[in-house]
Homo-oligomer: A and B are copies of this chain.
Amino acid sequence: MALNKTLRPGLIQLRVLDLDQTLNFYKNILGLNEVCRTEDGRVCLKAYDEFDHHSVTLRLAEEPGFDYAAFKVDSEETLEKMAEAVEAFGYQTDVVPANTNQPGFGKRIGFTISTGHRLEIYADVELAPQIPETRNPNIWTEEPRGMRAQRLDHFLLYGPNIAEAERFCKEVLGMFVPEVCNTPDGKRLAAWVTSSNKPHDLAFVEYDKPGKMHHVGFLLQDWNDVGHAADIMAINHLKQDIGPTRHAITRGQTIYFWEPSGNRIEVYAGGYTAYPDNPQRVWDSEQLGRGLFYYEGEMIPSFLQIIT
């Protein structure tokens, strides 16, 4: 039974400045596994607890940042219906044929939302060459490495007109919005959006320049692994941004730091179980600092820095 449902953010392509140093971070420090390289030199990686072919693609570029992200939907039927709904919403779509640019991925439908970000949806992707055990499975096959990232979790995008982007995620992608932040005059300043029982699969902050990324988040097991990730960050001389701390928003436990190419990475654990029927949590913008950084109780200036 097709639920016409978006399953999760399944892929993000990031720009990086230096493959060797940055790959060392993603593989040995964050703990992802390299799956393959493309003919044009991009590198595809996945976390140990993911099944699909890969979830992160790194592309060598002049500056760091977000190329695009893609959401997996639950069936070809849903993909076709959603593609129509995207057009009906007013966004032009393009089709990326199977195995184009992203090895192992089936057909993807791409479009650009109001915030200036390219998003894609797809229904088919091959399993990765090495997946978690499925016959009398152990809890892991090879002990998680480095920060022990379990999954690609979410990303935070900055751009104009997030009210429209939020409406698009609800109406077209079938997501819901567990938390929002409004300015005193009632305008949307930020929105946390999910297609699952996690408190966010992606989030938006209103910003005048389009297509910006704030951070990519990876899932850790719990607060203990957040502390361990901080140890790993410190011993590897990664530059800390913020944390360990807790978000009141999503209730997650977290640390932000900079990978060698200048992308901001969050490792994140916890958070409440989100359901679409629960009341939406609403933040007043003058409380946003405390909402983001519950221990600090106020906005942390470095959080305002956006990746070029």
Contacts and interface: CB of A to CB of B under 8 A. Distances in A.
Nearest to A288: B136
Contacts of A243: 295
25 contacts: A1-B170, A3-B4, A3-B174, A5-B5, A7-B275, A49-B273, A74-B277, A134-B279, A134-B282, A135-B281, A139-B231, A139-B235, A139-B248, A151-B273, A196-B273, A221-B270, A223-B223, A223-B224, A227-B244, A234-B246, A234-B290, A234-B297, A239-B297, A240-B295, A240-B297
B279 A127 contact: yes
Interface in A219-262: 219, 221-224, 227, 230-235, 237, 239-240, 243-246, 248, 251, 253, 255
Given A139-B235, A234-B295, 7 more contacts: A1-B4, A134-B280, A136-B290, A197-B198, A222-B222, A230-B295, A240-B297
Contacts of A7: 275-277
A275 to B, nearest CB: 6
A234 B197 contact: no
A51 interface: yes
A135 B282 contact: yes
A272 interface: yes
A283 interface: yes
Interface string A267-306: 0001011011111111110010011001111000000000
A84 B49 CA distance: 38
Contacts of A150: 273
Nearest to A298: B240
Contacts of A255: 295
Given A174-B3, A197-B197, A281 B231 contact: no
B227 A246 contact: yes
Interface residues of A, number: 73
A171 B2 CA distance: 11
Nearest to A227: B223
B8 A275 contact: yes
A251 B139 contact: yes
Interface of A: 1, 3-5, 7-8, 49, 51, 72, 74, 127, 131-140, 143, 150-151, 170-171, 174, 196-198, 219, 221-224, 227, 230-235, 237, 239-240, 243-246, 248, 251, 253, 255, 270, 272-273, 275-284, 287, 290-291, 294-297
Contacts of A296: 240
Nearest to A72: B277
A137 B283 CA distance: 8
A199 to B, nearest CB: 11
Residue of A140, A170, A232, A294 ringed by the most chain B CB atoms within 10 A: A294
Contacts of A127: 279
Nearest to A219: B273
Nearest to A195: B197
A39 to B, nearest CB: 28
Given A51-B279, A174-B1, A198-B197, A137 B248 contact: yes
